[in-house]
Amino acid sequence: MNFKRWFALFVFVMLVGWFGYDAMEKKRDEDRARDLRNAQQQRKSREMKVPTPSKPPGDMVVNLTPGKVWFVGKYEDGGGIEIPFPPGESPEKSVDLTPLHDNPGYVGPEQCQECHREKYQSFLATAHYKTSRPVNESTIDGSFTPGSNTFQTSDPHMSFEMVHRGDEFLQRVHFFNWSFEVPMEIIMGSSKMAQTYLYWHKDGLYQHNVTHITDGDQWINSPGYIDGDAAYARPIPQRCLECHLTYFDYRGEKNRYTPGSLILGVTCERCHGPAKQHVEYHRENQDARDAVGITNPADLERQVQMDICGQCHGGTRVLKGDALSFQPGDRLENHYDPPDDELDAKNSVHTSNQLNRLAQSACFEQSQMTCIDCHDPHHNERGNRKLFSSRCMNCHESESDCGFFPQAGVDFAANCVDCHMPQRPTEKLRLKSVEGDVFPPLRDHYIRVDEAATEQFMSGLNGQD
């Protein structure tokens, strides 16, 4: 050690002496904080490093569909990994392509903001708006913190790790010593029940193996996936986007779309029709007070108005022609085959048929009721029983219209729905979690006197639930 260093150490010791023990303590704290920071930074930079895909176990690789689906199998049970890109490679970034079809005039909800500000602002909070969105820090649920970012399947050799690196969110699949990553790019689901994730490989859209469910904040296998496998080649068909998006340009072959064409969310134009003409006209004619080039569902005949909602809330319906051919004002039967009970039973669409259930109600039969007697599509009104009950009383006048009124301890006006539209778990929304099956409950839209529901409600009041 040279003199300068000795001198520096000497000064340091003296300084410590002068400032006493407290200063030592303070320095130790500072050192500790610095070490912690360093360790954190190191961990972060380790995270930031993109792992080069290691080689998969070679003798297990099979090219299932030449050039399209690769399979890395497990000998024991026939399961394994399914990916639409060669093992050892990564999904190819989507390239922007020229759309195959002319956009019939969808412009996206941002274009409505300047003239319909309030509706636009309140709409951002709805499940319709959120039902498909880009993945980013503020939209994605679930933990990416080491320790709670993994999902171990029943096969000890197969697990998933959820990775947040820079702006990217990825699922990393671990199979024996091999691992590879798939980016999460689009969220499907408003988070009411769940979020599932989509990614692009070229112009193909695929679903991830791991889904997040809101109940219990858990990573699970996507509905219908087999535990212990890693399926990343499940294509996202048109019908799926038709119910969860506003617009997309379909390129054929099941799941190929023009990446730049997507308008995410079920937004304004799915209920009002493509608005390009409307927007252009009113920008040029600022004084015009009568709307041009747009459909107001309130002006449509009852069944025609309800058919708008029925595109997505009318049970399993198979497309007759092209996706998105239905326009507000059209009839469902001209675009879809009627709902099929058998298909429904096979759990092909995870939604109940509100259109059909509601139509069986006396309320519906003996009035001109439509969906918007109770639902305002421009506001998030979820869970507001009192508000929904006030909508019942638009027709029923007062709580004393209820044949069960009065009952000690029951605030009728605050809750007409739990007794007459009970929430029931549905097989159709079965989600398998680590702790067992989850059946998110849905409201039965067949409004009627329901004794079981009333009994349950009353026993809940008496603390026997």
Q: Which of residues 296-355 bind ligand HEC (CB under 6 A)?
A: 296-298, 306, 308-309, 311-313, 349-352, 354-355
Of 127 and 304, nearer to ligand HEC (C-beta) is: 127
Name the nearest CA neighbour of 56 among 201, 173, 226.
Answer: 173
Which residues within the stretch 155-174 sit at the binding site for ligand HEC (CB under 6 A)? none
Tell me, what amino acid is at 190?
Answer: S
Of 67 and 463, nearer to ligand HEC (C-beta) is: 463
Q: Which stretch binds ligand HEC (CB under 6 A): 49-57, 155-163, 248-256, 295-303?
A: 295-303
> Rounded to an integer, what distance in angstroms lies between the CA atom of residue 103 and that of residue 124?
24
Which residues within the stretch 435-464 sit at the binding site for ligand HEC (CB under 6 A)? 442-443, 445, 447-449, 454, 457
Name the nearest CA neighbour of 107 among 294, 242, 244.
Answer: 294
Which residues within the stretch 86-125 sit at the binding site for ligand HEC (CB under 6 A)? 107, 109, 111-112, 114-116, 119-120, 123
In whole angstroms, the minimum distance from the beta carbon of 54 to ligand HEC comes to 30
DSSP string of 269-288, one letter each residue? HHHH---HHHHHHHHH-TT-
Name the nearest CA neighbour of 265 among 74, 358, 419, 130.
Answer: 130
Name the nearest CA neighbour of 71 among 61, 58, 84.
Answer: 61
Count of Cβ atoms closer than 10 Å to residue 96 Cβ: 10
Of 160 and 175, nearer to ligand HEC (C-beta) is: 160
Per-residue binding letters, 127-146, with ligand HEC (x by CB under 6 A): xx--x---------------
In whole angstroms, the minimum distance from the beta carbon of 146 to ligand HEC comes to 26
Decide: is 255 part of the binding site for ligand HEC (CB under 6 A): no
Of 161 and 399, nearer to ligand HEC (C-beta) is: 399
Which three-class secondary structure state does DSSP give residue 171? strand
Decide: is 431 part of the binding site for ligand HEC (CB under 6 A): no
Tell me, what amino acid is at 234?
Answer: R
In whole angstroms, the minimum distance from the beta carbon of 29 to ligand HEC comes to 46
In whole angstroms, the minimum distance from the beta carbon of 335 to ligand HEC comes to 12
In the numeric block, which tokens belong to residue 336? 């879809």
> How many residues form the binding site for ligand HEC (CB under 6 A)?
104
Of 163 and 198, nearer to ligand HEC (C-beta) is: 198
Per-residue binding letters, 49-78, with ligand HEC (x by CB under 6 A): ------------------------------
Place of tokens 């099979």: 62
Which three-class secondary structure state does DSSP give residue 299? helix
Beta-carbon contacts of residue 170 (< 8 Å; ≥ 6 apart):
162, 163, 164, 181, 182, 183, 184
Interface with ligand HEC (CB under 6 A), residue from 270, 307, 324, 335: 270
Burial class of residue 114 (count of CB atoms within 10 Å of its CB; 0-12, 13-18, 19+): exposed
Of 327 and 454, nearer to ligand HEC (C-beta) is: 454
- Residue pair 317/243 in contact (Cβ under 8 Å)? The answer is no
- Residue pair 136/167 in contact (Cβ under 8 Å)? The answer is yes
Per-residue binding letters, 207-246, with ligand HEC (x by CB under 6 A): x-------------------------------xx--xx--
Interface with ligand HEC (CB under 6 A), residue from 279, 324, 332, 438: 279
Alpha carbon distances (Å) from 360 to 400, 416, 447: 24, 18, 8
In whole angstroms, the minimum distance from the beta carbon of 134 to ligand HEC comes to 15
Which residues within the stretch 367-406 sit at the binding site for ligand HEC (CB under 6 A)? 367, 369, 371-378, 380, 382-383, 388-389, 391-396, 399, 401-404
Strand partners, 245: 264
